[in-house]
Amino acid sequence: MAEIIVETRDLEKVYTIGERRQQILKDINLQIFAGEFVVVSGSSGSGKTTLLSILSGIDRPTSGSILLSGRDITGMSEDELAPVRNVETGFVFQAFHLVPSLTALENVMFPAELRRDPQARVKAEELLRRVGLWERRSSYPQQLSGGEKQRTAICRALINHPKIVFADEPTGNLDSENSRGIVELLAELHREEKTTLVLATHSPEIAARADRVIVLRDGCIVEKGEGADA
């Protein structure tokens, strides 16, 4: 049986605004296996972003627990969580979230410099070369196209060789040609590096490429697909 990278137990997320209590995620029990490409689908507002944020340690659940590589991250302090997020996971956002005052190369190096990796620059250069951005390494985010920004963000997510990469609608802000390029790149990285990839999208074309599709509706998993041990 394949190694379990992420496991959740009875995960729940509730927002209380004034008197109103809104249940965003409910009864989320899932396992993601090493090397899997899992798509999380579901209509807008179904809870995809909230789920990915919680699985990656960016956000916290109201109740239930998350195990990342067998370690319970649910009760960790911010100080304990920060290195887990930085080294064990990579996150690709719909809106890129690059640092505007840093060049493409510096953006990619950043997570490696946080952990004082002496190879930060060499690794960042290699990644940018690989995604066809070598010529653009000294450009600032505002000088890059959407597709170039997202390729830079993918390099940044990969620089610390995370066990798992989360991508939240990574093509949501791109035209169809750039979208195809980004999906190809993510699929190639998954195939060649055996990176575990959890990608939220409502694109059926992307979902068709996944090993498994998890469908959310109103915060509940209504369709789980088959796990690696099924």
Ligand X SMILES: Nc1ncnc2c1ncn2[C@@H]1O[C@H](COP(=O)(O)OP(=O)(O)O)[C@@H](O)[C@H]1O
- Residues 6+ positions from 158 with CB-CB distance below 8 Å: 90, 127, 165, 189, 193, 195
Q: Which stretch binds Mg ion (CB under 5 A): 47-55, 113-121, 140-148, 151-159?
A: 47-55
Q: Compute the radius of gyration of the chain from its Cα atoms.
A: 17
- Tell whether residue 160 is a contact of Mg ion (CB under 5 A): no
**Is the backbone of residue 201 left (phi > 0), alpha (psi -120 to 50) or beta?**
beta
Tell me the residue ranges of DSSP E strands in the chain: 4-17, 20-28, 31-33, 37-41, 63-68, 71-72, 89-92, 164-168, 196-200, 212-217, 220-223
Instruction: Pick between residue 50 and residue 179 the one whose CB is nearest to ligand X.
Output: 50
**Among ligand X, Mg ion, none, what does residue 47 contact (CB within 5–8 Å per kind)?**
ligand X
- When asked if residue 49 is in the footprint of Mg ion (CB under 5 A), the reply is yes
- Of the pair 48, 212, the CB lying nearest ligand X is at 48
Ramachandran quadrant class, 27 (left: phi over 0; alpha: psi -120 to 50; beta: rest)? left
For residue 200 the two structure tokens come to 């939220």
Task: Determine the interface stretch with Mg ion among 3-11, 22-30, 40-48, 139-147 (rule: CB under 5 A).
Answer: 40-48
- C-beta of 15 vs 122, nearer to ligand X: 15
Q: Report how far residue 49's alpha carbon sits from residue 59's, in angstroms, rounded to the nearest whole number.
A: 10
Contact status: 91 vs ligand X (CB under 6 A): no
Nearest-angstrom CA–CA distance, 170 and 95: 8
Q: Is 44 in the site for ligand X (CB under 6 A)?
A: yes
Q: How far is the CB of 169 from Mg ion (least distance, A)?
A: 6
Scanning 16-24, 26-34, 43-51, 112-120 for contacts with Mg ion by CB under 5 A, the matching segment is 43-51
Is residue 201 involved in binding Mg ion (CB under 5 A)? no
Q: How far is the CB of 160 from ligand X (least distance, A)?
A: 25
Give CA angle at 176 (47, 143), nearest 5°: 95
Q: How far is the CB of 47 from Mg ion (least distance, A)?
A: 8
Instruction: Answer whether 108's CB lies under 8 Å from 186's CB.
Output: no
Q: Which does 204 bind (CB under 5 to 8 A by kind): Mg ion, ligand X, none?
A: none
Which range binds ligand X by CB under 6 A, 37-45, 72-80, 111-119, 124-132? Answer: 37-45
User: Which residues form the interface with Mg ion (CB under 5 A)?
Assistant: 48-49
User: Which residues form the interface with ligand X (CB under 6 A)?
Assistant: 15, 22, 24, 42, 44-50
